Structure 1
Amino acid sequence: MNAIKELRSTLRPAVLALGAAGMAALIAGCSDATGKAAAGAAPGAPPVSAATVLEQNVAEPQELSGRLEAVERVEIRPRVSGFITAVNFKPGAEVKKGEVLFIIDPRPYQAEADRAEAAARSARAKAELARLELRRAERLLGDKAIAQREYDERAASQKELDANALAAEAQAEAARLNLSYTRVTAPINGRVSKAEITLGNLVDASAVLTSVVSLDRIYASFDGDEETFLRVSRRAHAGQAVPVRVGLVNEEGFPHEGKLEFIDNQLDTRTGSVRMRAAFANADRSMTPGLFARVRIDGDSRKAMLVSDRAIGTDQNRKFVFVVGEGGRAEYREVRLGPVFDGLRVVRAGVKPGENVIINGLQRVRPGAPVQAQIVPMTASAQPLQDKDAKLAAASVNAKE
């Protein structure tokens, strides 16, 4: 019996060791099998939406920033000095050419005008008397009743008095002008500012009373780059109309249409830009001088490739798209972009017409990885494509289940 107990105590560690080794082998085998199975099951290609790159003739626009300027702007200054006795306008009101804005005390100028008129009449009377005496002298000279010298003196006196009469008349006209200048009028049609100098103040010719800006037409001034200059200067100098559109900060798009009117004669070498100006009708008075303006100049029509902005990704300072290449694999393409045309982005380099670019599901795409692409129309609206992409993803999940 003791021998049997000793045998059992001897065999038990061996059996336990054998069992542990078998269990370890079993676990290792299961793990290896699981790993092989996992390695053999490749993940499915992610569902994406792709659209074909469009090629169209587009008049590629150039968008710039500018400011509105008045076609005419006049600072109203008095031509004579005196006290302001009346202000006849409301600040910010529209005024007509010739409308009286200020009145300067006219009494001193009225008195001066009366004095000058009286002096002119006196001078005219003296000149008339000298002409009558000269006629008498002519008759007396014919009868040899006076000497030639006396006749010559009377002729010279008559000419001197005529000149004095003209000078007196000029002084009277100057006095009448000064009297008229006491009524300060609007020189143009437009909108008046506020009165800078109010009733009762003494003013002279150096004072600025107010200002008036025209409203019927308005300028939009902006700086164009060298590309814009080269594109439009040829047409402008050839006499061709260059359309320009403008939008204000509270407006959608560019609702105001005008024409390029001025291109400066040289570029600013410090900024690489050239000053330009376009004129616009302003019948509704919606455009006011000084406002910020978004300016768009339409370019010449040429072929361009168009894609949706949803297809464009950003990698630091670079823009890229994924193209569905051979074997359904995603190809990374760096692109150079242009402006937006009818909701689609102009691509100047990086893609070719007819290629399919991924526009939905970019977050599931890796360069060189296979994708399951569904071709959809190239549109500017995102909602229809998102719905299709969601349906495609749901169908893929159901198929796997």
Structure 2
Amino acid sequence: MKTKFIVTVFAVLLTLAFTSCETKKEKHEESITFPVTNPIQKDTIINQEYVSQIHAFQHIELRALEKGYLQNIFVDEGQHVKKGQLLFQIQPTIYQAEAQRAASEVEFAKAEYDNVKALANQNIVSQNEAVLAKAKLQKANAELQLAQTHLKFTEIRAPFDGIVGKFEDVRLGSLLDEGELLTTLSDNSKMWVYFNVPEAEYLDYAMQDKNSEKDHVHLKLANQQIFQEEGIIETIESDFNNTTGNIAFRATFNNPKGVLRHGQTGNILWPKELNNVTMIPQKATFEVLDKKFVFLVDEQGKINSQEVKIVGELDHIFLVKEGLKLNDNFLLEGLRKVQNGDHIEAEKVDPTSVIENLHLHAE
């Protein structure tokens, strides 16, 4: 019995030892090899992004030019109108009466002038009286033109093709004061997009050797879609904003389908060429307190963290300004499995193939 117990215990110990050896063997066989690679340098184009304000090419306020009751509204908010189209009508009764009175004065002054002129030609009256009669006629004509102008001002017409804005608390029968705001009118066929550029970037732009062609930009809308029309940078404001250190640029976009409206916001995407810029995969970096780091791997496989300065980004790629040399090896994958000071088995991966296949293997 005792012998049997000893044999059983021995068998168990042997099994445990064998299992332990197998586990160590498996661990040894499963030891991870980490891929490492180098940065590469290439010419590329990145989009500098700027918050922008979108304005209609023409955007004006329509105001009452005469005092009176609002008799008719011929359009609705948001309606497309043509140049010269009648929008509002102020009650014209008083102005019509004044115009008729002025017309009567003209007829009277003309008859008087014709009579005096005929008498002057016969030397019955002096030429001075004819001159005075002519002056009275001219004055009457001027007063008629003034009355007709006031009458014309009771009709508010569109000065250009555009879109009618919101009505500003005006309804049929409202008593309007001279100069009271009725609505706005926007010509959205072409849009002006304003964006602020920091002084350093302005200087880079201003000091370039430019040809006659203007820079083209794109517009990213609030829904993250890119507007279908390209814009052209046309003007720069004369003064810097001393508070922000920025200067305003203006890009012009055609708006054939009327997608853009006055007052919208978006982001200008301005393509910038970068020569021999250092590139690394985004997945090879980690972040600590808003700073980007990579794990450098030396010849002995030791890991050391290294901060990198990012100048821009593309899809799955960071563009590095400082922190890496072209011959530096950095950890490509498995960043969460290691820590600073660890030693690893490293397998070198061609950096060009890494960059070219990022979109296929992006984490």
**TM-score of the superposition, structure 1-length normalised?**
0.75
**In structure 2, do the counterparts of structure 1 residues 113 and 254 end up closer, same or farther at CA, with 3 Å as the change threshold?**
closer
Counting matched residue pairs gives 334
Structure 2 unaligned runs (5+)?
1-19
Q: Any residues of structure 2 matched to 1:1-400 within 5 Å, and which?
A: 46-137=32-123, 154-196=126-168, 197-234=170-207, 240-253=213-226, 255-341=228-314, 343-353=316-326, 355-368=328-341, 369-375=343-349, 377-379=354-356, 381=358, 384=361
The answer to whether the Cα contact below 8 Å between 1:48 and 1:362 also exists between their aligned partners in 2 is no
The answer to whether the Cα contact below 8 Å between 2:283 and 2:316 also exists between their aligned partners in 1 is no
- Cα displacement string for residues 116-164 of structure 1 (whole angstroms, at most 9, x for unaligned residues): 1111122122222232223222xx8xxxxxxxxx7xxx22222222122
The answer to whether the Cα contact below 8 Å between 2:35 and 2:333 also exists between their aligned partners in 1 is yes
The answer to whether the Cα contact below 8 Å between 1:53 and 1:378 also exists between their aligned partners in 2 is no
**In structure 2, do the counterparts of structure 1 residues 252 and 340 end up closer, same or farther at CA, with 3 Å as the change threshold?**
farther
Moved over 6 A (4+): 41-45
User: Which residue number corresponds to residue 12 of structure 2?
Assistant: none
**In structure 2, do the counterparts of structure 1 residues 343 and 162 end up closer, same or farther at CA, with 3 Å as the change threshold?**
farther
Bigger Rg, structure 1 or 2: 1
The answer to whether the Cα contact below 8 Å between 1:61 and 1:296 also exists between their aligned partners in 2 is yes
1:348 CA displacement = 1.1
> How many Å separate the matches in 2 of 1:317 and 1:78?
56
- Cα displacement string for residues 154-205 of structure 1 (whole angstroms, at most 9, x for unaligned residues): 2222222212211111111111111112111112221112322010111121
> How many Å separate the matches in 1 of 2:92 and 2:61?
22
- Structure whose residues are more often helix by fraction: 1
Q: Which amino acid aligns with 1:323?
A: L
1:384 CA displacement = 2.8
**In structure 2, do the counterparts of structure 1 residues 262 and 343 end up closer, same or farther at CA, with 3 Å as the change threshold?**
farther
> How many Å separate the matches in 2 of 1:123 and 1:181?
26
The answer to whether the Cα contact below 8 Å between 1:62 and 1:228 also exists between their aligned partners in 2 is no
1:269 CA displacement = 2.3
The answer to whether the Cα contact below 8 Å between 2:294 and 2:306 also exists between their aligned partners in 1 is yes
310-319 vs 211-220, which moves further: 310-319
Q: In structure 2, the residue corresponding to 1:271 is in which secondary structure?
A: coil
**In structure 2, do the counterparts of structure 1 residues 189 and 237 end up closer, same or farther at CA, with 3 Å as the change threshold?**
farther
> How many Å separate the matches in 1 of 2:347 and 2:89?
80
The answer to whether the Cα contact below 8 Å between 1:231 and 1:299 also exists between their aligned partners in 2 is no
The answer to whether the Cα contact below 8 Å between 1:113 and 1:175 also exists between their aligned partners in 2 is yes
- Structure whose residues are more often strand by fraction: 2
- Cα displacement string for residues 23-50 of structure 1 (whole angstroms, at most 9, x for unaligned residues): xxxxxxxxxxx9xxx9xx9998643333
1:273 CA displacement = 1.5
CA-atom RMSD in angstroms? 2.8
Structure 1 unaligned runs (5+)?
1-33, 141-149, 387-401
